[in-house]
A and B are shown apart, each in its own frame.
Chain A
Amino acid sequence: MALPLGLDIALQHLAHRRRQTLVSLLGVSLGVAFFIAIASMMQGFQQDFISRIIDIQPHIIVKDDFRDPPRQPVEVLYGDGALDLRGLKPLDETRGIRGARSMLAVLEEEAGIHVAPTLSGNILLRFGGKDVSANVTGIVPERQRRVSHLEKDLVEGATLDALYTTANGIIIGDGVAKRGGIRMDDLISVVSPTGVVLKMKVVGIFSSGLTLMDNFDTYVLLKKAQVLQGRANVINRINIRLDDVEQAAPLAARIERQFGYRAEPWQEQSRNVLGIFVIQNVIMYSTVSAILIVACFGIFNVISTVVFEKTRDIGILKSMGFRDADIRRIFLMEGLMVGVLGTVIGWALGYGIVEFMGTLRFAMEGFVKAQGFILYRTPRHYLISGGMAILSATLAAWIPARRASRLNPVDIVRGAG
């Protein structure tokens, strides 16, 4: 069976400009392939990071902090007055969440919410003449295991209960252990900013995969943390884990409205990194768009050249009875064919690159730790890249196609005589 006439003519035109057509095809293919590879790599990394922070970190952290400093009583009374307060001295008070016990009770009443009180602060770990700065978080093990994956991330030591069974036990990140040359069961000195020094025994080492956590975080019993910080019966954070992670932002806003304390959902806790992801995505789409635009210039060039070369043919086709739309369709089809063929080749190439990247093994330590590229494979990448390529190729063909359809056959046959 013969090909449809328009397709047949379009194919012959492209075959006639073989080299230019191949270059355009290569441009589209590379654009599509790079999009798939880069998108797979970047989204793989981003999704892995997000799933790790959702898995590992509390979904909401309530801090002993306020978004806006509390207003002075005079400002409350005379809000519209021309007030200028000078020489204000902050009250020297012990920081912490006031009424934490009742807050915990209120929050625990809600379904799908798990809460754990903690006290966080800075410490210095001293071991073998080496000082390592770290964050210490005082936890209640039976509550903590409901709000974080700390117990599952233990690479040495069995459970968080070791903090109970060992006097002055401490769990450290594997990055902390590496920095300090510390191993399991070592006795280390923990120095707090208030000058309290405790000899503590390493009862667990965890590896979450999040570099920042592994390199700086340590955990002790809440009571020990309170001793270290000199803040008896104080907690400065409430960690919350939700059954439905999507509820983090609205619930955080509600908690903040209800209790006044700053409540950060996981998106806000990782705002810097998530912001970087947005920039990464913009760069990725811009780069791939630039490749496709260059490819489209190629397509525009090929089809413009063909229109120029085939002016006589267009004249005779019109004199035969081809309509403007028939002529336009032929040249649009040429762009479409380059777009479709380039997309299919690009898909195959992109698939190959992604699978090749998947076989590469190397230690990577950035926001997260990995042993190679973290790849996200989805048909969506193929659809987006294909859609962009075919749309741009068709648009690139549109201008010369329209010019071709508007050529006057009389001018052409007169000029050709």
Chain B
Amino acid sequence: MSAFAIETRKVTRELPGPVPVTLVRDIDFRVAPGEFVAVTGPSGSGKSSLLYLLGLLDRPSAGTVAIQGAETSNLSPDQAAALRLERLGFVFQFHFLLPEFTSQTNVEIPMRRLDRLDDRAIRRRATELLETLELGEHRHKRPDQLSGGQRQRVAIARALANDPPILLADEPTGNLDTHTAQIVFELFRDLAHRQNRSVVVVTHDTHLAELADRRVHLVDGVIVDD
């Protein structure tokens, strides 16, 4: 089994069409367990595309993506979904919390889908996660009753619900003020270092990227600096 949480080999993603568009090209990229990696680059450089490939939301046109040593190119859509559910946590620029549900329920959803814990254990874990992220008193509030930073922290709690070894974040601080963004980034660093998770964060903010262990810079779909 590979020592890397994520490993890509010569990954290329091309959008077919009369004029094919290459999103990323020949990406060789590895993330070790407990490593916090920031992916930077200008708009349209392929940062998010790379993240979606790592998160099995998209399939490479060429090359391979391995998650914890398991090669993923032959997985069916349902198998990829199962892998996402168990091993990957996503945080996006927009929180994507389900607006009808409370923070607590939003965090419970991935656990209920995975169906490994009983109802009481699911409730307890969701509460603990929210309390860890200092959202204990906001457990029963719906997303529209929370601030931007609070919503994003609920989204992080939801991404951690099934205790995934890998956390992927796409511009998670894009809608946050500088102070809150700093807090969120520090949280990611903690998750990597204290909980031994691999964290890959896409950001265009070079200042925040400096908080990561490693910085990968993309230009025109190619890694130019690692």
* Nearest neighbor of B48 in chain A, beta-carbon distance: A414
Q: Determine the distance from Cα of A312 to Cα of B96 in the docked complex, in whole angstroms.
A: 7
Say if the beta carbon of A318 comes within 8 Å of chain B. yes
Give the nearest-CB partner of A16 in chain B.
B100
Q: A321 near B84 (CB under 8 angstroms)?
A: yes
A247 interfacial contact with B, CB 8 Å: no
CB atoms of A321 and B85 under 8 A apart: yes
Chain B 92-112 interface 0/1 with A at a Cβ cutoff of 8 Å (1 = within): 111010111100000011101
A335 at interface, CB cutoff 8 A: no
Residues of A within 8 A of B82 (CB): 321, 323
Residues of A within 8 A of B90 (CB): 316, 319-320
B57 at the interface (CB under 8 A from A): yes
**CB 8 Å contact bits of B71-91 with A (1 = contact, 0 = none):** 000000110011111101010
A325 to chain B, nearest CB (A): 8
**A13 vs B110: C-alpha distance when bound (angstroms):** 18
Number of A-B contacts (CB under 8 A): 82
Judged by a CB distance under 8 angstroms, whether B35 is at the interface is no
Chain B minimum-CB-distance residue to A13: B100
Does A417 lie within 8 Å of B93, measured CB to CB? yes
Contact B170 A413 (CB under 8 A): yes
The chain A residue with its CB closest to the CB of B108 is: A2
CA distance A312 to B93 in the complex (A): 12
Which of A1, A16, A316, A325 has a CB less than 8 Å from the CB of B92? A316
- The reply to whether A417 and B94 form a contact with Cβ atoms under 8 Å apart is yes
Cβ contacts under 8 Å, A15 to chain B:
100
Q: Does A180 contact B (CB under 8 A)?
A: no
Q: Could you tell me the distance in whole angstroms from the C-beta of B201 to the nearest C-beta in chain A?
A: 15
Question: Is A322 within 8 A of B98, CB to CB?
Answer: no
CB-based contact A5/B119 at 8 Å: no
With A12-B100, A416-B96, A417-B171 known to touch, is A323 a contact of B57 (CB < 8 Å)?
no
For A320, the closest partner residue in chain B by CB is B110
Residue ID in chain B nearest A316 by CB atoms:
B96
Q: Which residues in A have their C-beta under 8 angstroms from that of B99?
A: 313
Main secondary structure of the interface of B (DSSP, over half): helix
- Count B-side interface residues using an 8 Å CB cutoff: 35
B76 closest partner in A (C-beta): A323
Report Cα–Cα, A316/B107, bound state, in Å. Answer: 13
A319 / chain B contacts, CB cutoff of 8 Å:
55, 57, 84, 90, 92
Q: Are A315 and B86 in contact (CB under 8 A)?
A: no
User: A314-334 CB contact bits vs B (8 Å, 1 = yes)?
Assistant: 011111111111100000000
Q: Are B112 and A2 in contact (CB under 8 A)?
A: yes
A410 touches B58 (CB 8 A): yes
Whether B85 contacts A417 by the Cβ 8 Å rule is: no
Q: Which residue of B lies closest to A309 (CB)?
A: B99
- Asked whether B92 lies within 8 Å of A5 as measured between CB atoms, the reply is no
Report Cα–Cα, A15/B99, bound state, in Å. Answer: 12
A12's nearest neighbour on chain B, judged by CB, is B100
Query: Whole-angstrom distance between the alpha carbons of A21 and B88 in the complex?
Result: 36
Cα A316 to Cα B170 with chains together (Å): 13
Residues in B whose Cβ lies below 8 Å from that of A417? 48, 92-94, 170-171, 174
Chain A residues with Cβ below 8 Å from B109 are 5, 317, 320
Give Cα A413 to B174, complex, Å. Answer: 14
Task: Let me know if B29 is at the binding interface, CB within 8 A.
Answer: no
Task: Say yes or no: is A395 at the interface (Cβ < 8 Å to chain B).
Answer: no
A274 to chain B, nearest CB (A): 55
Top 8 closest pairs, chain A to chain B, by CB: A321-B85, A316-B96, A12-B100, A321-B84, A5-B112, A323-B81, A319-B90, A321-B81
Interface of B toward A, CB cutoff 8 Å: 48, 52, 55, 57-58, 77-78, 81-86, 88, 90, 92-94, 96, 98-101, 108-110, 112-114, 119, 122, 158, 170-171, 174
5 residue pairs A–B, Cβ–Cβ below 8 Å: A5-B109, A16-B100, A320-B85, A321-B86, A413-B52
